[in-house]
Structure 1
C-alpha cells in the first residue's frame, strides 16, 4: 500500500473537496494536512481580495474545483495556477492566495499550507520558509523519494494542462 493511501486510511491526510459541486466526483486527488484544513477554515475566509468578483475563498474554491474535476489548467501569465518551486514543492496560485504541497502521484497532490500572497510580496514571509516546511512535513509523514514525483514540469504532475502558444 502506498504511503498516501496509508496516511489517508489513518486520517493523517484527508481529502479536500472544496470547490466540488454536489453532483461532481473528483477525477484528481487533493489531500490536505491538518494545517491546510485549519488554513482553509480559519485564515482563508479573512484574506482580503484584490479581485473585483471573487473573494479569496471563492478563488481557491474555483481553483480546487478545476483541479479536482480534471478540467485543463491553463498555464499562462499573469497567474499560472500551478508552479514548481524547488525540491519537488509545488505552488497552487490564485490572485490572492498561495497553497504549497507536493505530488504523491500524477494528478494527486498533498497540500500542507497556504498564505495570503500579500505577506509574500511584502517580504513578511518568504518562499523558502514554505519550501522548507513542506519538504520537512513530506519527510515527517514518511514520503521517500519513491513516494512522490520529482519532476519539475507541469506535464510531469498533471495529465491535462493547456500551455497556450506564445504570440
Structure 2
C-alpha cells in the first residue's frame, strides 16, 4: 500500500496545480494518468457552446479546479457534489456548464480526478452509471493506503473552506 505522495512519486498519480506562482494551496488535487491524458488530449477538443458559458470547456475546468485548490466554498452550489444515487460508491463530481469530472476524496481536502467528459456526451449516452462504476473500480484497484476514500455523505465531511 502507498500514500498519495508515494503514488505521485511512482507516477500513478499526478498533482494538478492550477495556481499562479506564489499562491499556496488550501486543498490538493490529484489525477490518474488516464485523466491527465484526457485533460491534455480530449478536453481541448470538446466543442464549446456559447449559450452555456463565456468560458471554453478547458477554461471552465481550470476555473473550478482553481476555486477548489484555493479553498473557495462550494457548499451552496453544485460545482462539487457527491453523486447521491449511488451513495455506497462514494464518487464525487466537479460540474461546470459543459464538463463533468468524476473522482473521489481519499482524505479531507484532497480529490483524485479519474474521468472527465462533456455534459452533453454523458447525457446523450446515459453514462453517469458507467463513470461511477469505473471510478469505483479504479479506486479499488489502486494501491492506496486504506481507507481509500472518505465515506462522508456531506460537503463538510470531505472539504474545509479557507474562509
Q: How has the CA–CA distance of structure 1 residues 161 and 116 changed in structure 2, closer, same or farther, with 3 Å as cutoff?
A: farther
Counterpart of 1:106 (choices 100, 105, 108) is 108
2:40 corresponds to: 41
TM-score, scaled relative to structure 1 = 0.86
> Matched residues in 1 for 2:140 and 2:12: separation?
14
- The 5 Å alignment of 1:1-167 reads 3-17=3-17, 19-50=18-49, 51-76=52-77, 80-85=78-83, 86=86, 87-122=89-124, 124-143=125-144, 146-160=147-161
In 1: Cα distance, 2:71 partner to 2:105 partner? 15
What root-mean-square deviation, in Å, do the aligned CA atoms of Structure 1 and Structure 2 show? 2.0
Deviation at 1:151, TM superposition (A): 1.0
Secondary structure of 2:105's counterpart equals: strand
Q: How far 1:11 moved relative to its partner?
A: 1.6
| Cα distance, 1:32–1:93 mapped onto 2, change above 3 Å | same
Name stretches of at least 5 consecutive residues in structure 1 with no aligned partner.
Answer: 163-167
Could you tell me which runs of 5 or more consecutive residues in structure 2 were left unpaired when the two chains were aligned.
none
Shift of 1:133: 0.5
Which whole-Å CA distance do the structure 2 matches of 1:159 and 1:52 have between them? 28
Deviation, 1:130, is 0.6
Question: TM (normalized to structure 2)?
Answer: 0.88
Runs of 4+ in 1 over 4 A off after TM superposition: none
Q: 1:70 to 1:161 in 2, by over 3 A?
A: closer
Kept after mapping to 2: 8 A contact 1:3/1:147:
no
